[in-house]
Amino acid sequence: MFITFEGIEGAGKTTQVKRLHAFLINNGYESIMTREPGGTRIGGHIRSILLDPQNSDMEPLTELLLYTADRAQHINEIIKPALSSNKAILCDRYFDATLVYQGVTRGLNTGLIKKLHETIFNNLKPDITFLLDLAPELGLQRAWNDINNGSRKNHETRFENENSAFHEKIRTGYLELAHSEPGRFRIIDASKDQDHIYQDIIESLIEGNSLLQRV
């Protein structure tokens, strides 16, 4: 089972990945947590370049290729072995983020981005994608609160520093993508508190999933 979490900055993806991981482990499932970018040692170096606020002049194509390089390492080192071992994979961002951030928002050709994924990665997609949706102003407020109180790194703020129009495009892009693939996406209201979001995720995951209905 391959599950991804998507959403704008401050949506609470990382928190909910950890909570769902604990839920699965406590109910007898083998589960691993990972993320993009930075799910591998090599990916960690790529992440430091991509999220560094000093790199505000990065070209969109450079951004796309760095994310693709991170994904190549990630899929072959982490995701494919986990799938082969029948483990649940919980990933904080994946290909949908590339399609929305570099395609819809940065203006790169989305057809090209999809073709790259199909050609290089055999169009490997998650079984379920949770889209944690909320207004950008709330998400950014949460994100900067976490950065300012030290619970998030202050040297990974390149996207938080983008203007409000950028984040509005991200949210719109995600919602359009979710509505185009309703069988895979589960839209979760992330304006709620963490406990309510978690309960909504668990209920959505169990619903219609015979393997989990015994939990």
Question: Is residue 58 domain-resident?
Answer: yes
Q: How many domains does the chain have?
A: 1
Question: Is residue 168 domain-resident?
Answer: yes
Q: Give per-residue pLDDT as tens, 2-23.
A: 999 999 999 999 999 999 999 9
Question: Is residue 25 domain-resident?
Answer: yes
Say whether pLDDT at 186 is over 90: yes
In percent, how much of the chain has pLDDT > 90? 86
Question: Is residue 8 domain-resident?
Answer: yes
Question: Is residue 213 domain-resident?
Answer: no
Q: Write down the mean pLDDT value for the chain.
A: 93
Q: Which domain holds residue 30?
A: 2-206
Q: Per-residue confidence at 213, pLDDT binned at 50, 70, 90?
A: very low
Q: Give per-residue pLDDT as tens, 59-90.
A: 999 999 999 999 999 999 999 999 999 999 99
Q: Give per-residue pLDDT as tens, 116-165.
A: 999 999 999 999 999 999 999 999 889 888 888 877 777 889 999 899 99
Q: Give per-residue pLDDT as tens, 104-117.
A: 999 999 999 999 99
Q: Mean pLDDT throughout 28-33? A: 95
In percent, how much of the chain has pLDDT > 70? 96
Q: Would you state the pLDDT for residue 155?
A: 83
Q: Would you state the pLDDT for residue 147?
A: 86
Say whether pLDDT at 185 is over 90: yes
Question: Is residue 53 domain-resident?
Answer: yes
Q: Would you state the pLDDT for residue 150?
A: 77
Say whether pLDDT at 215 is over 60: no
Output the domain CATH number for residue 94: 3.40.50.300
Three-state helix/strand/coil letters over the chain: CEEEEEECCCCCHHHHHHHHHHHHHHCCCCEEEEECCCCCHHHHHHHHHHCCHHHCCCCHHHHHHHHHHHHHHHHHHHHHHHHHCCCEEEEECCHHHHHHHHHHHCCCCHHHHHHHHHHHHCCCCCCEEEEEECCHHHHHHHHHHHHHCCCCCCCCCCCCCCCHHHHHHHHHHHHHHHHHCCCCEEEEECCCCHHHHHHHHHHHHHCCCCCCCCC
Question: Is residue 212 domain-resident?
Answer: no
Whether the full predicted model's pTM is greater than 0.85, yes or no, is yes
